[in-house]
Amino acid sequence: MTPEMSEKTVLRSRLLAARAALSTKFLGQAAESLARHGLELAELAEASTVAAYVSVGREPGTRALLDALHARGVRVLLPVLLPDNDLDWAAYEGPERLAKAGRGLLEPTGPRLGPEAVCAADAVLLPGLAVDARGMRLGRGGGSYDRVLARLTRAGTDPALVVLLYADEVVARVPEEPHDHPVHAVVTPAGVTRFGS
């Protein structure tokens, strides 16, 4: 294990423990604030297609934001986890068209569009545990979104990369590896922070 991987493991454990301590009331209020601030972000408000995900457990809530984007006529793509940890995609057609899947995930029940479908997105909401002042994101370590980001790079597309977090998950520094990509913005219940030019 490299020093960066070890640092990531320690930071992930600390952040997941902090999330586990959050109250249900806080989670609900945070989700409402995240949706409000997310909809104010031009990259999401003006997008015709957004690749997103359904939050589970104590992740920063995405469902209100998904429903608001969908109601505005935005095409929302949601991931479907493949056996090799890569992601296929399907259109979000409302909460009643989500089904329980492996690892506690909720996935859309509609037709699969293929792993390359994400390349049509104007913005991609990435799950994460932390982001630093440079925009470097710490994911959960499964590698699914590393594949998505590599696929976007290969396709030559440049969608806005946005991560939803709790305010205390914006940290001074996230350990990075050569394959890591910075995000363009982070949305927290406190507001939006942009990175880079």
Which domains can be identified in the chain, with CATH numbers? 3-184 (3.40.50.10420)
Specify the pLDDT at position 140: 84
Consult the annotation and say whether 156 binds a ligand.
Answer: no
pLDDT at 2 > cutoff 80: no
Consult the annotation and say whether 55 binds a ligand.
Answer: no
Consult the annotation and say whether 74 binds a ligand.
Answer: no
The overall pTM is greater than 0.85:
yes
Consult the annotation and say whether 116 binds a ligand.
Answer: no
State the pLDDT confidence band at 3, using cuts at 50, 70 and 90.
low
Consult the annotation and say whether 100 binds a ligand.
Answer: no
Consult the annotation and say whether 11 binds a ligand.
Answer: yes
Consult the annotation and say whether 25 binds a ligand.
Answer: no
Say how far apart CA 195 and CA 186 lie, in whole Å: 8
Q: What is the mean pLDDT of residues 90-101?
A: 94
SS3 content of the chain, % helix, strand, coil (to 5): 40, 25, 40
CA of 195: how far to CAs of 132, 137, 154, 161, 164, in Å?
A: 10, 11, 22, 10, 14
Consult the annotation and say whether 143 binds a ligand.
Answer: yes
Consult the annotation and say whether 38 binds a ligand.
Answer: no
Consult the annotation and say whether 69 binds a ligand.
Answer: no
Q: Classify residue 23 by its DSSP letter.
A: -
- pLDDT 10s digits, 108-152: 999 999 999 999 999 999 999 999 999 999 988 888 999 999 999
Consult the annotation and say whether 187 binds a ligand.
Answer: no
Specify the pLDDT at position 197: 54
Hey, CA dihedral for 11, 12, 17, 22, is it positive or negative? positive
One-letter amino acid for residue 13 of the chain: S
